[in-house]
Amino acid sequence: MSASIDPECSEKKERYDTCFIKWYSEKYLRGESQTDECKDLFKEYQICLNKALKSKGIDAMIEEARKTSPNNDNAKHG
């Protein structure tokens, strides 16, 4: 799996990603999307990640992008 922006979060990210891929391939693609067994791992990873984004000043950049184009679909596609 790919690394996190902050090496401190990579282990938490790895645990979450592994959980997510298992859920995605075994549950989600089979129509069982209601379960959320990765919720706690995601929360742990997010606490670490948000701290890193804040200290690098990237959080503001992301907020701005979310406001201008929530789904990145401003470009015209035919």
Partner 1 sequence: MKVFESSCTFDYPWANVSVANWRKYCAWNTQSTHVVAVDTLSRSVDPSTGVLRTERLITCKQSAPRWLMKFVGGTEESFVREVSEVDPSKRTVTLRSTNLTGSNFVSVQETVIYSPDPIAPESKTLFRQDAQITAYGAFSRLCGAIEDWSVERFGQNAMKGRLGFEAVLEMSAKAFREMRSEEAKI
Binding site for partner 1 (CB under 8 A): 1-5, 9, 13, 16-17, 20-21, 24-25, 28-29, 31, 33-34, 42, 45, 49, 53, 58, 61-62, 65, 69-75, 77
Q: Whole-angstrom Cα distance, residue 45 to residue 17?
A: 10
The three-class DSSP label of residue 44 is helix
Q: Minimum distance from CB of 77 to partner 1 (Å)?
A: 6
**How is residue 20 written in tokens?**
């997510």
Q: Minimum distance from CB of 55 to partner 1 (Å)?
A: 14
